Chain A
């Protein structure tokens, strides 16, 4: 039963994390390169600019959900299972979400890289 709870936590961590990642990426894309903005307007202007977007807070909310789901999962399972399993599945979920929601040009090179990293993380976990 504990095993089932662990995988429910991994699944909810992956969903919340992918949603949070997409929302934060969308918010940061709208803001633009923070390095350029910092050089032009200073640190406080960067903080004000980042905190002015509502989408960002949506992303942070889902990241907080992922955090607590991960925390509950860590109380039942080892980091060596929770960490890589949720990370590997998040890679794939993010690549799909980035293609359809962020309209990123996920070309063959990035799909192959995502699959290689995903496979590598699984091998590192279960060996």
Chain B
């Protein structure tokens, strides 16, 4: 893994978090969507926060596709979940929110999970199917 590849993973975290936050902000303006009028969800596309969110998520998508071109899906997803830890730490140190012991435990679990997967190879090959001994002996004969 090169520095460029780690930067791609970091961009996934940044664009994904910003995009989700903008969408949530926009949907608070739009209000609850009636289950019988689901087509009203398209009216949310006129909200500026939702539009900013979509642009952020387009940035997320391009970085995500780039990451999947050089790493496994089961590597990219856990490795980029460090964003949840960043958000919790920002809440504690910047916004002075109270972080409960359970939340600290959650931060530790996510960090250990990210460390475990990031320490391994980014791309794995499926182990080759072992050739039965009988076939190998027949080939030798």
Chain A interface (Cβ < 8 Å from any Cβ of B):
5, 21-22, 24-25, 28-29, 31-35, 50, 63, 67-68, 70-72, 74-76, 78-79, 83-84, 87, 90-91, 94-95, 98-99, 102-107, 109-110, 112-127
Contact = CB atoms under 8 A, between A and B. Distances in A.
Contacts of B108: 120
A94 B110 CA distance: 17
Given A74-B24, A127-B100, A90 B117 contact: no
A122 B103 CA distance: 9
B90 interface: no
A114 B78 contact: yes
B117 A24 contact: no
A11 to B, nearest CB: 15
A106 B101 CA distance: 31
A31 B24 CA distance: 34
Interface of B: 4-5, 20-21, 23-24, 27, 30-33, 35, 38, 41, 44, 50, 57, 61, 64-66, 68-70, 72-75, 77-78, 81, 84, 88, 100-103, 105-114, 116-117, 120, 124-127
A52 B21 CA distance: 32
B68 A127 contact: no
A72 B117 contact: no
B110 A91 contact: no
A28 B78 contact: no
Contacts of B50: 71
Contacts of A22: 73
A90 B50 CA distance: 23
Nearest to A108: B116
Contact of A28 (B69, B113, B127): B69
Nearest to A73: B27
A120 to B, nearest CB: 3
B102 A123 contact: yes
Given A71-B23, A104-B124, A117-B114, A28 B81 contact: no
